[in-house]
Amino acid sequence: MKRLLIDAKGMRCPLPLLKLKQGLAQIDIGDEVEVRATDAGSWRDIPSFVSMTAHIMIDQSQQADEYLYRVKKGE
């Protein structure tokens, strides 16, 4: 399994979500994308997107003003 790290800190909505989508397109099924963002809108946007796809949200956490998401690529 591979993990792609995307640093979207400082990017405003919708860029963290777009970066996640681009990352998912680059990896194989079963691999993971980890996104680090500072935009509060990503807290709503990324889980909403994942819930409408075959991808799996492995982890979603917040530390101060940083948001972390780990998403496993589904079929």
Report the catalytic residues.
Answer: 13
In single-letter form, the type of residue at position 41 comes to G
Q: What is the largest CA-CA distance in the chain?
A: 33
Token pair, residue 62, equals 């917040």
Q: Which helix (H) or strand (E) holds 2?
A: none
